[in-house]
């Protein structure tokens, strides 16, 4: 007997709820009926229906289903929903009351990118084709198993990379005939200027995974200049003449044999250096996590740009550790779009685009966010229990930002109070006292949690 579609749906729902997600797929506020549909939740019991201050809601971490209900407006959802997707994006389901206008999508997940699977590895990319706002930067997530090689190649774009895990060997060659070799681990960087040939190979037991950044949003992995392709598409007589060898030696070179492929296990760098090796004058790598940190009350930031990594002329970056409940302070960047990659944790970001336009997005590990230059924003750790780790990346030679707190503290207080507290002088005096130090606190610890107003979690 063929099972009814409703029975299949219910079976699938049970399977997914028990195996697929880290957070539960059932909600206290939307319970599946026997046929797999969702009954209308009891709106009166929805914990976030009233919140005049638009506080964060970690619905994914708490396993709560967000609803489009806010401060007396909206109602429940009767149609089909993607439960886990909604929990990951509570500020799209229930936007803060301060959101306004028609800002485009500024969020993408590598989980939604196509994966190219190769021998012993894979690659996937987020470019302007996946995320239209990603005009200045493209990102590639790549995995190489132990001994697996990313073929000798070069790009018209510059390449910056952050090692997410494992170990990797990089080689490079400069315009003066100098060579470079280095072994990198988690948290290390490399940068290859436009046109500089290089290679990558996974080391150790499990190889490596890394994030590649290119200084053009329309970059494509398919546009790479590959060694084997060049040889394949050059007359064999010319190749033979170039290397002073018989042309038949190159008959078995085929472009599709390479790109990402299993290679032999490398020896130490000292043993692998060729006889003609001449050390490059360029330092192509950098240990980002060893960089001195800018300490904040709620975390720290490590900045790497051309000032401490001189070869990195087109990419600047910050590595942020944001403690539970803490906030990357309200700020903006005047010299480039921000391209953020979320390594762990959960965050919300509201982007202010002028003309009264603002939109809030939620991010998780593996997500990419774009904030166009000069647009005001923050990064808030949604969780009160788990840390948040983020890379802020820019197509620029220097990391630059403006702190709203610092600006307010260094502006004449009469002027500030006339702007913000003209009709509330008592609050104006409190504000002036708070900002008088004008201290830039790059990551602020959690200060106000609503308890003074009796707005505990579940009572909003």
Distance between CA 139 and CA 343 in Å, rounded?
A: 14
Residue 28 pLDDT > 50: no
Average pLDDT of the chain is: 89
pLDDT of residue 40: 55
Distance between CA 82 and CA 28 in Å, rounded?
A: 16
Counting residues of the chain whose pLDDT is more than 90, the rounded percentage is: 82
**Low-confidence winner among 138-147, 151-160, 257-266 (lowest mean pLDDT):** 257-266
Distance between CA 147 and CA 265 in Å, rounded?
A: 5
Q: What is the pLDDT of residues 187-235, one digit of tens each?
A: 999 999 999 999 999 999 999 999 999 999 999 988 899 999 999 999 9
Domain 291-408+438-445 has CATH 3.30.70.60: no
Is 392 among the residues known to form the active site?
yes
Distance between CA 102 and CA 377 in Å, rounded?
A: 16
Residue 453 pLDDT > 50: no
Question: What is the pLDDT averaged over residues 83-95?
Answer: 95
H helix or E strand, kind and range, residue 409: helix 404-409
333 annotated binding-site participant? yes
Indicate the pTM of the whole model: 0.88
Q: What is the pLDDT of residues 373-382, one digit of tens each?
A: 999 999 999 9
- List, by residue range, all CATH 2.60.120.10 domains of the chain: 113-287, 291-408+438-445
Residue 314 pLDDT > 50: yes
H helix or E strand, kind and range, residue 100: none
The values of phi and psi at residue 339, to 5°, are -115, 110
Residue 454 pLDDT > 70: no
155 annotated binding-site participant? yes
Question: What is the pLDDT averaged over residues 173-185?
Answer: 98
The one-character DSSP state at 41 is P
Q: Which is the catalytic residue, given 392, 398, 410, 439?
A: 392
pLDDT of residue 39: 53
Q: Identify which of 182, 163, 162 has the alpha carbon closest to the alpha carbon of residue 171.
A: 182
Would you say 182 and 270 are in contact if contact means Cβ atoms under 8 Å apart?
no
Question: What is the pLDDT averaged over residues 170-183?
Answer: 98
Would you say 288 and 393 are in contact if contact means Cβ atoms under 8 Å apart?
no
The one-character DSSP state at 256 is G
Tokens of 154: 């070069």
153 annotated binding-site participant? yes
Question: What is the pLDDT averaged over residues 397-403?
Answer: 98
Q: What is the pLDDT of residues 350-373, one digit of tens each?
A: 999 999 999 999 999 999 999 999
Question: What is the pLDDT averaged over residues 436-448?
Answer: 91
Give the three-state DSSP class for 60: helix
377 annotated binding-site participant? yes
331 annotated binding-site participant? yes
Q: Identify which of 303, 441, 321 has the alpha carbon closest to the alpha carbon of residue 388.
A: 321
DSSP state letters, 216-238: -TT--GGG-EEHHHHHHTS-HHH
pLDDT of residue 448: 67
Sequence-distant (6+) residues with CB within 8 A of 183 are: 167, 168, 169, 203, 269
Q: How confident is the model at residue 260 (pLDDT cuts 50, 70, 90)?
A: very high
pLDDT of residue 383: 97
Question: What is the pLDDT averaged over residues 53-66?
Answer: 93
Tokens of 5: 């579609």
Q: How confident is the model at residue 48 (pLDDT cuts 50, 70, 90)?
A: confident
Cβ burial of 437 (10 Å; 0-12, 13-18, 19+) is exposed
Distance between CA 265 and CA 255 in Å, rounded?
A: 22
Residue given tokens 């100098």 in the structure block = 178
Sequence-distant (6+) residues with CB within 8 A of 295 are: none
Q: What helix, strand, coil percent values describe the chain, rounded to 5?
A: 20, 35, 45
| Domain 113-287, architecture per CATH | Sandwich (2.60)
Distance between CA 55 and CA 94 in Å, rounded?
A: 11
pLDDT of residue 336: 98
pLDDT of residue 34: 55
Distance between CA 320 and CA 318 in Å, rounded?
A: 6
Q: What is the pLDDT of residues 281-307, one digit of tens each?
A: 999 999 999 999 999 999 999 999 999
Give the three-state DSSP class for 23: coil
453 annotated binding-site participant? no
Would you say 351 and 363 are in contact if contact means Cβ atoms under 8 Å apart?
no
114 annotated binding-site participant? no
Would you say 401 and 369 are in contact if contact means Cβ atoms under 8 Å apart?
no
Tokens of 412: 């004449």
**Cβ count within 10 A of residue 163:** 22
Residue 26 pLDDT > 50: no
pLDDT of residue 31: 52
Residue 24 pLDDT > 50: no
């Amino acid at each position: 007997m063929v099972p009814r579609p409703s029975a299949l749906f219910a079976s699938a729902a049970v399977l997914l709820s028990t195996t697929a997600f880290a957070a539960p797929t059932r909600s206290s506020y939307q319970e599946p009926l026997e046929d797999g549909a969702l009954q209308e939740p009891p709106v009166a019991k929805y914990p976030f229906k009233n919140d005049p201050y638009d506080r964060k809601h970690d619905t994914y971490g708490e396993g709560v289903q967000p609803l489009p209900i806010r401060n007396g407006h909206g109602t429940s959802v009767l149609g089909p929903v993607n439960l886990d997707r909604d929990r990951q994006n509570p500020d799209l389901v229930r936007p803060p009351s301060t959101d306004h206008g028609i800002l485009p999508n500024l969020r993408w997940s590598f989980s939604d990118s196509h994966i190219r699977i190769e021998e012993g590895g894979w690659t996937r990319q987020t470019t302007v084709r996946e995320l239209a706002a990603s005009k200045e930067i493209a990102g590639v997530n790549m995995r190489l198993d132990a001994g697996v090689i990313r073929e000798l190649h070069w790009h018209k774009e510059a390449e910056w990379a952050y090692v997410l895990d494992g170990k990797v060997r990089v080689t490079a060659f400069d315009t003066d005939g100098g060579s470079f070799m280095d072994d990198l681990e988690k948290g290390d960087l490399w940068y290859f200027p436009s046109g500089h040939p290089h290679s990558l190979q996974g080391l150790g037991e499990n190889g490596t995974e890394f994030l590649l950044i290119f200084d053009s949003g329309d970059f494509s992995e398919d546009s790479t200049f590959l060694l084997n392709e060049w040889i394949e598409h050059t007359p064999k007589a010319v190749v033979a003449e170039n290397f002073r060898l018989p042309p038949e030696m190159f008959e078995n070179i085929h472009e599709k044999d390479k790109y990402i492929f299993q290679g032999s296990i490398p020896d130490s760098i000292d043993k692998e250096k060729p006889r003609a090796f001449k050390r490059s004058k360029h330092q192509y790598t950098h240990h980002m996590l060893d960089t001195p940190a800018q300490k904040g009350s709620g975390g720290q930031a490590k900045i790497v740009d051309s000032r401490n990594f001189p070869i990195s002329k087109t990419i600047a970056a910050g590595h942020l550790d944001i403690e539970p409940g803490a906030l990357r302070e309200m700020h903006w960047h005047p010299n480039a779009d921000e391209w953020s990659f979320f390594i762990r944790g959960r965050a919300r970001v509201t982007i202010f685009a002028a003309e009264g336009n603002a939109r809030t997005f939620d991010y998780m590990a593996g997500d990419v966010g774009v904030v166009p230059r000069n647009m005001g924003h923050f990064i808030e750790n949604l969780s009160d229990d788990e840390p948040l780790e983020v890379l802020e990346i820019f197509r620029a030679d220097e990391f630059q930002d403006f702190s709203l707190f610092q600006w307010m503290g260094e502006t004449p207080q009469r002027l500030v109070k006339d702007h913000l507290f003209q009709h509330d002088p008592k609050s104006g005096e409190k504000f002036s006292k708070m900002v008088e130090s004008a201290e830039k606190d790059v990551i602020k610890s959690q200060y106000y949690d609503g308890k003074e107003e009796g707005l505990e979690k579940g009572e909003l």
